[in-house]
């Protein structure tokens, strides 16, 4: 398989009919902010006919923003490998985890200008609450306030109540396997 770097018109690209990833309006808004602020830096991969394999969200945001052209990698290879790429693009990214302390450090540097980062003030406040609860547990062995040990094993849990299922998906995607997603809440299990 090979990849060719090209510039393609946005209106000449189209989503893969089997793309398993959905891009809700809230995420597209963050992607739009990112495009305006940082430009295109994420891979957009397509087949020769313009069918997208990766970068569906960037493409959707570019359409809404009125971007006329995008840099793309044009995939040339077997159909089975194209479908593998369609799955791998998102699944492999979800396997990563974040260093919460470093995320907060970077966000605090951007505090006055979160546009384009994918974070907002409410999410930043949630992260700070989680970090404070973790620190409390590390230093004293217990949580302060409304956060405390739960469950049969007595393992500490931090519960974030979300307004929507989408917010839970964002939390789950951001922190990977350390998060267990419920229907309308997310539970973080400190290690």
- β 185-188/179-181 pair status: antiparallel
> What angle do the packed helices 56-65 and 25-38 form, to 10 degrees?
70
Max Cα separation, the chain? 59
Domain of 16, CATH number, reads: 3.90.1530.10
* CA-closest candidate to residue 59, choices 116, 10, 118: 10
Local confidence band at 131 (pLDDT 50, 70, 90 cut-offs): confident
Same domain, 110 and 170: yes
| Domains of the chain: total | 2
- Same domain, yes or no: 12 and 85: yes
Which domain does 66 fall in, by range?
A: 2-94
Same domain, residue pair 122 and 158: yes
In this model, does residue 52 exceed pLDDT 80? yes
What pLDDT, in 10s, does the model give residues 89-103? 878 877 777 777 888
Whole-angstrom distance, CA of residue 58 vs CA of residue 32: 8
Same-domain status, 7 and 67: yes
Inter-residue contact 107 to 124 (CB < 8 Å): yes
Better pLDDT: 187 or 6: 6
**Residues 105 and 171 grouped into a single domain:** yes
**pLDDT exceeds 80 at position 1:** yes
**Is pLDDT at 145 greater than 60 in this prediction?**
no
């Amino acid at each position: 398989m090979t990849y060719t770097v090209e510039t393609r018109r946005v209106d000449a690209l189209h989503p893969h009919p089997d793309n398993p990833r959905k891009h809700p309006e809230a995420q597209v808004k963050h992607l739009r902010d990112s495009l305006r602020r940082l430009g295109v830096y994420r891979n957009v991969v397509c087949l020769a006919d313009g069918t997208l394999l990766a970068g569906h969200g960037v493409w959707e945001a570019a359409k809404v923003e009125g971007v006329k052209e995008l840099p793309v990698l044009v995939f040339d290879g077997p159909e089975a490998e194209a479908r593998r790429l369609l799955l791998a693009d998102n699944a492999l990214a979800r396997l990563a985890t974040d260093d919460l302390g470093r995320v907060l450090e970077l966000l605090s540097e951007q505090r006055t200008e979160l546009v384009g980062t994918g974070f907002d003030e409410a999410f930043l406040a949630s992260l700070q609450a989680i970090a404070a609860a973790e620190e409390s547990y590390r230093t004293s062995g217990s949580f302060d306030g409304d956060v405390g040990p739960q469950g049969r094993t007595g393992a500490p849990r931090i519960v974030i109540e979300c307004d929507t299922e989408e917010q839970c998906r964002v939390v789950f995607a951001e922190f990977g396997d350390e998060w267990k997603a419920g229907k309308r809440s997310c539970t973080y299990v400190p290690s």
